[in-house]
C-alpha cells in the first residue's frame, strides 16, 4: 500500500481541522460488528471516566505562581485509577503503624516539652514565657509546614520530604545534646526539630487518610496514640537517665531511638494514589465552603489554649503548690497517659455517629476544666484536673484531623494533603502564640495563673461555639439529625458523551399510557436485561455487555436505568417518549460522572461500531483528527 503525498497549508492545517468529521461518523460501509477488542480500543483513545481524551494527550496549562508550584506542576502523573480506599488490609494497617511511630518521634517528643520547660527554668534561670517559645515554635513549624508538605505529598514527593524530615530530626536531637545556652536550645529543639516535625507529621497523616474512609477516624485515632506513647516514654527516659547520666547522654539515647524508628518507617511507607501533577499550594476554593471555614476557625481557637496545660502544669505544681520535680513529671505523665484511652475509644464512636458530634462536647469540657483550674489548691486536686483535662485534650488532638476530610465535597482523595495542610497551617498560628501568651499573662499577674486560665477557657468556649456553627451549616438546627462523616456531593453535570456511540436522550422506561410496566426494550422480543451492582456498571461496561457478551449480541441500542440496570435491544417496544434530561439524574454505579438514567428513566445510546482502519490507528495511537481527515479525503490505503 502506497501513501500519496499531501501538501499541508501554510497555516499548519487549521483549515483541515475545521473540516474534520468526528471519528464517530466513520462511513457505515467500513463498519463491522464489534469484537472483544473494542474495549481495548476505547481505553486507548477515550478516557474511561468521562469520555474525554487521556490525560497525557490533553494539552496542559503552563504552571504559574511561585517556583515551588512550578516544580510540583512538572511532576508527571500516571493515568490510572487506584480504586476506592481499601479501609483495611495488611498494607493499610502497616501505614497506620508507621504513622504511629512517626507521631511517636515528632508529636510525642513535643508533648513531653513540659519536662524540659521545668528543667530549663531550673537550670537556665529564664522566665517561663521565654522558654515556652522553644516549644511553641516547634509545634508551629509542625503545623505550618503542612501547607507545603501536604501539596508535595499530593504531587508524589512523599518519600523525599519524609527523608528530609528524618535528617533534620537527627541533626536537631544530636546537636541539642551539645547545647550550653538558651539560643542554642532554641535553634536545635525549636527550629531544627520543628522543621523535622513539619516535614514528617502532615505527610504521614495525609497518607493514612488515602487508605481509609469509613474507618478513617479509628485509623487516625490509633496513629494519634503515638503522641501518648512518646509523651510517656520520653519523660520516663529523662526521669531515669537525667540524674545518673546527665543531660547530654539522656538526649543522645533519645536520638538513637529516633534513628531506629526512622529507618523502620522509611522502609515500610507506601503511597497509594498517583501524583496529582498540577495545582496550587493552597486550594482557596476550600475556604469558599462554609463548613470547612467554620471548622478551621473552631480548631484555631481550640488549639489556642490547648497546650497551655501541657507546658505549665509542672511549673504550676512546683512554683504555686510546692511540688517536687518528680511530682511535676508525674503530673505530666498522668495527663498524657489519659490519651491511651481517649485517643482511641472516642474515635470508634466517631465512625458511628460522626467525628464532629464527638468533638464538640469535649471542647467545652476542656474549657470548663480551665476555669476549674483557678480553684485548685492541692496536689491531689491537680491530679484530678490532669486526668479530666488529659482525656478531653486527647479527644481534640485525635479527632480534629479525621474531621477535616468530612468538611469537603471533594469526592476523590487527591487533595487530602492540600486541605489537611491548610488546616494545619491555620492551627499553627494559634499553637505558636498560645503558650507564650499564657506565659505573659502569668508574668503580668505576678505568678498568678488566673488570667491565663480565663483566657484559655474562653478560647475553648469560642472554639466549641464555632464547631456548633459548623454542625448547623451542615444539618441546620435539627439536633436529632444524624450527621454523617461525608457531605452531600456538590451538583455534578453527568456526561452522556460516549464516543463512538450516539446518545439518543433520556427516555421513559415504562409504558406511558396503559401502565402495564412494559419496558422500553421488551424481553419478549429478545432484548436483554442485566443488573450490575457496586462499581461494575458504567457506560463502557453496559456497551460491552450489549455488543459482545449478551445472548444474541450485538444489539443496536443499549441503555442504563436507575444507575444499576443495563438493558439491550434492537427496537423500541413502546412509542419512545423522550423526557427532559433532568429526569435522568442518577449517576452510573461505577462512575459518578456518567449519566445512569433515573427512576423509570433510561439513558439510551445507539451503538456505532469501529472500522478496521480506525481500530488499527487507535490501537497504535497514531491517528489524530487530521489523519482521519486525510484517510477520507485523500484516499490513503
503-521 per-position pLDDT tens digit: 888 887 764 434 445 567 7
What does the pLDDT average to over 440-444? Answer: 90
β-strand partners of 591: 588
Find residue 508's DSSP bridge partners. Answer: 601
Residue pair 485/355 in contact (Cβ under 8 Å)? The answer is yes
Q: Stretch 624-628: mean pLDDT, rounded?
A: 38
- Residue 308's contacts (CB-CB under 8 Å, 6 or more residues apart) are 370, 434, 435, 438, 452, 456
CA 525 from centroid of its chain's CA atoms: 50
Which of 321, 346, 122, 327 has the alpha carbon at shortest distance from 225? 346
Establish if 573 belongs to a structural domain: yes
Same domain, 384 and 511: no
Provide the pLDDT for residue 94: 94
Please name the residues in contact with 300: beta carbons below 8 A apart, sequence gap of 6 or more.
426, 427, 429, 430, 463
Distance CA 633, CA 324 (A): 94
Hey, what's the cell of 506?
A: 433520556
Cα gap 567→553, rounded to integer Å: 12
pLDDT at 179 over 60: yes
Compute the distance between CA of residue 615 and CA of residue 272 in angstroms, rounded to an integer: 33
Does residue 2 lie in a domain region?
no
**Does 392 fall in a domain?**
yes
pLDDT above 50 for 60: no
| pLDDT value at residue 162 | 95
Residue 490's pLDDT band, with cuts at 50, 70 and 90, is: very low
Q: Which residues neighbour 14 within 8 Å (Cβ) at sequence distance 6 or greater?
A: none
Please check whether residues 468 and 597 belong to one and the same domain: no
pLDDT of residue 277: 58
Q: Cα 315 vs. chain centroid, distance in angstroms?
A: 38
pLDDT for the residue 61? 40
pLDDT of residue 623: 40
Question: SS3 of 62, please?
Answer: coil
Of residues 345, 346, 344, 368, the one with CA closest to residue 357: 346
430-446: average pLDDT = 89
Specify the pLDDT at position 494: 60
Whether 56 shows a pLDDT value over 60: the answer reads no
| 463 & 554 share domain | no
The pLDDT score that the predictor gives to residue 291 is 86
Mean pLDDT of 88-114: 90
Inter-residue contact 336 to 224 (CB < 8 Å):
no
Q: Which of these, 21, 30, 6, lies nearest to 615 by C-alpha position?
A: 30
Length of the chain in terms of residues written: 637
On whether both 241 and 171 belong to a single domain, the answer is: yes
Residue at 75 is within a domain: no
Q: What is the pLDDT of residue 621?
A: 40
pLDDT tier at 107, thresholds 50, 70, 90: confident
Query: Region 178-194: what's the mean pLDDT?
Result: 91
Q: Is 405 helix (H, G, I), strand (E, B) or coil?
A: helix
Structural domain count of the chain: 2
The reported pLDDT for the residue numbered 406 is: 67
> Which residue is it, cell 487518610?
209
Instruction: Indicate whether 470 and 523 sit together in one domain.
Output: no
Highest mean pLDDT among 344-353, 382-391, 400-409: 382-391
CATH code of 320's domain: 1.20.1250.20
What pLDDT band is residue 459 in, cutting at 50, 70 and 90? very high
pLDDT, tens digit, for every residue of 64-93? 444 544 444 444 444 455 667 788 889 999
Residues 6+ apart with CB under 8 A from 242: 119, 250
Same domain for 351 and 424, yes or no, is yes
Q: Are 207 and 95 in contact (CB under 8 A)?
A: yes
Coil, helix or strand for 592? Answer: strand
pTM summary value: 0.57
Q: What is the pLDDT of residue 517?
A: 52
Rounded CA-CA distance 257/296 in Å is 34
Q: Are residues 546 and 398 in the same domain?
A: no
Per residue in 195-247, pLDDT (tens digit) is 999 899 888 988 888 888 778 777 877 887 888 888 889 988 988 898 889 99
CB 420 within 8 A of CB 146: yes
**Would you state the pLDDT for residue 168?**
96
**62 falls within a domain:** no
DSSP three-state, residue 71: helix
* Residue predicted with more confidence, 330 or 619: 330
Over range 606-624, report the average pLDDT.
Answer: 49
Q: Is 20 a domain residue?
A: no
| CA atoms of 189 and 105, how far apart (whole Å) | 13
576 and 451, same structural domain? no
Q: Is the pLDDT of residue 602 over 60?
A: yes
Q: Same domain for 398 and 271?
A: yes
Q: Tell whether the model's pLDDT for residue 364 goes beyond 90.
A: yes
- Mean pLDDT value of segment 16-20: 37
Please check whether residues 223 and 261 belong to one and the same domain: yes
Please provide the DSSP assignment of 72-139 as one string. Answer: HHT---------S--S-SHHHHHHHHHHHHHHHHTHHHHHTHHHHHHHHHHHH---HHHHHHHHHHHH
User: Is 351 inside any structural domain?
Assistant: yes
The H-or-E segment that residue 499 falls in is none
Check pLDDT > 80 for residue 384. yes
Q: How far apart are CA 412 and CA 402, in angstroms?
A: 16
Provide the pLDDT confidence category of residue 471 given band limits of 50, 70 and 90.
confident
At residue 578, does pLDDT exceed 60? Answer: yes
Q: Quick one: pLDDT band at residue 142, thresholds 50, 70, 90?
A: confident
Residues 513 and 391 in one domain: no
Q: Is the pLDDT of residue 137 over 50?
A: yes
| Sole residue written with cell 486550594 | 283
Residue 323 has pLDDT above 50, yes or no: yes
Can you give the residue range of the structural domain that contains 295?
90-475
> How many Cβ atoms sit within 10 Å of the Cβ of residue 163?
13
% of the chain at pLDDT higher than 90? 23
Query: How much is the mean pLDDT over the chain?
Result: 75
Neighbouring-strand partners of residue 529: 567
Give the C-alpha distances (Å, rounded to integers) separating 558 from 171, 537, 565.
64, 13, 11
Q: Rounded to whole angstroms, what are the CA distances from 480 to 214, 346, 353?
A: 22, 20, 11
- Domain membership of residue 624 (yes or no) is no
Closest CA to 518 of 602, 606, 604, 603: 602
Instruction: Dig out the grid coordinates for 197 from the structure.
Output: 516535625
Res. 632: pLDDT tops 50: no
The residue ranking higher by pLDDT, 364 or 432, is 364
pLDDT, average across residues 134-153 = 82
**pLDDT on residue 30:** 28
Residues 264 and 134 in one domain: yes
Amino acid at each position: 500500500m502506497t501513501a500519496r503525498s499531501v501538501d499541508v497549508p501554510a497555516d499548519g492545517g487549521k483549515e483541515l481541522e475545521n473540516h474534520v468529521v468526528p471519528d464517530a461518523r466513520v462511513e457505515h460501509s467500513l463498519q463491522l460488528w464489534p469484537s472483544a477488542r473494542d474495549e481495548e480500543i476505547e481505553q486507548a483513545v477515550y478516557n474511561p471516566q468521562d469520555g474525554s481524551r487521556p490525560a497525557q494527550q490533553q494539552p496542559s496549562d503552563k504552571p504559574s505562581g511561585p517556583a515551588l508550584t512550578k516544580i510540583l506542576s512538572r511532576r508527571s502523573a500516571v493515568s490510572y485509577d487506584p480504586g476506592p480506599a481499601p479501609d483495611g488490609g495488611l498494607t493499610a494497617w502497616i501505614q497506620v503503624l508507621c504513622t504511629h511511630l512517626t507521631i511517636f518521634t515528632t508529636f510525642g517528643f513535643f508533648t513531653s516539652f513540659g519536662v524540659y520547660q521545668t528543667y530549663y527554668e531550673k537550670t537556665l534561670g529564664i522566665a517561663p514565657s521565654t522558654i515556652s517559645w522553644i516549644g511553641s515554635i516547634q509545634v508551629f513549624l509542625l503545623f505550618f509546614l503542612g501547607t507545603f508538605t501536604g501539596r508535595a505529598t499530593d504531587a508524589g514527593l512523599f518519600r523525599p520530604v519524609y527523608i528530609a524530615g528524618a535528617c533534620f530530626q537527627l541533626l536537631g536531637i544530636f546537636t541539642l545534646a551539645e547545647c550550653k545556652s538558651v539560643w542554642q536550645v532554641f535553634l536545635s529543639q525549636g527550629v531544627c526539630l520543628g522543621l523535622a516535625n513539619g516535614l514528617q507529621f502532615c505527610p504521614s497523616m495525609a497518607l493514612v487518610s488515602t487508605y481509609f474512609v469509613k474507618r478513617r477516624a479509628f485509623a487516625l485515632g490509633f496513629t494519634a496514640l503515638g503522641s501518648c506513647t512518646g509523651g510517656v516514654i520520653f519523660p520516663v527516659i529523662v526521669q531515669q537517665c537525667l540524674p545518673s547520666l546527665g543531660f547530654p547522654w539522656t538526649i543522645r539515647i533519645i536520638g538513637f531511638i529516633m534513628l531506629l524508628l526512622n529507618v523502620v518507617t522509611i522502609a515500610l511507607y507506601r503511597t497509594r494514589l498517583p501524583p496529582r501533577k498540577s495545582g496550587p499550594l493552597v486550594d482557596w476554593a476550600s475556604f469558599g465552603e462554609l463548613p470547612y471555614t467554620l471548622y478551621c476557625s473552631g480548631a484555631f481557637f481550640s488549639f489556642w489554649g490547648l497546650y497551655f496545660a501541657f507546658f505549665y502544669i509542672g511549673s504550676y505544681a512546683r512554683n504555686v503548690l510546692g511540688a517536687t520535680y518528680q511530682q511535676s513529671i508525674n503530673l505530666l505523665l498522668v495527663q498524657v497517659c489519659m490519651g491511651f484511652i481517649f485517643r482511641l475509644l472516642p474515635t470508634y464512636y466517631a465512625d458511628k455517629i460522626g467525628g464532629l458530634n464527638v468533638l464538640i462536647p469535649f471542647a467545652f469540657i476542656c474549657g470548663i476544666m480551665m476555669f476549674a483550674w483557678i480553684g485548685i489548691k492541692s496536689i491531689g486536686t491537680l491530679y484530678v484536673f490532669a486526668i479530666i483535662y488529659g482525656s478531653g485534650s486527647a479527644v481534640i488532638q485525635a479527632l480534629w484531623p479525621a474531621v477535616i476530610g468530612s468538611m469537603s465535597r471533594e469526592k476523590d482523595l487527591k487533595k487530602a494533603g492540600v486541605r489537611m495542610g491548610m488546616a494545619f497551617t491555620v492551627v499553627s498560628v494559634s499553637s505558636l502564640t498560645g503558650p507564650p501568651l499564657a506565659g505573659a499573662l502569668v508574668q503580668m499577674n505576678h505568678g498568678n495563673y488566673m488570667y491565663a486560665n480565663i483566657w484559655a477557657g474562653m478560647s475553648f468556649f469560642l472554639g466549641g461555639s464555632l464547631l456548633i456553627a459548623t454542625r448547623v451549616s451542615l444539618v441546620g438546627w435539627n439536633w436529632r439529625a444524624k450527621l454523617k462523616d461525608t457531605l452531600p456531593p456538590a451538583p455534578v453535570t453527568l456526561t452522556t458523551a460516549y464516543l463512538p456511540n450516539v446518545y439518543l436522550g433520556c427516555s421513559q422506561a415504562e409504558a406511558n399510557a396503559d401502565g402495564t410496566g412494559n419496558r422500553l426494550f421488551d424481553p419478549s422480543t429478545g432484548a436483554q436485561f442485566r443488573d450490575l451492582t457496586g462499581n461494575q456498571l458504567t457506560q463502557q461496561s453496559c456497551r460491552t455487555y450489549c455488543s459482545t457478551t449478551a445472548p444474541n449480541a450485538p444489539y443496536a441500542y443499549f441503555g442504563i436505568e436507575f444507575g444499576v440496570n443495563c438493558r439491550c435491544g434492537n427496537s423500541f417496544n413502546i412509542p419512545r417518549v423522550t423526557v427532559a434530561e433532568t429526569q435522568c439524574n442518577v449517576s452510573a454505579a461505577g462512575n459518578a460522572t456518567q449519566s445512569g438514567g433515573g427512576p423509570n428513566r433510561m439513558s439510551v445510546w445507539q451503538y456505532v461500531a469501529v472500522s478496521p482502519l480506525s481500530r488499527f490507528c487507535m490501537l497504535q495511537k497514531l491517528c489524530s483528527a487530521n489523519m482521519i481527515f486525510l484517510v477520507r479525503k485523500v484516499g490513503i490505503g
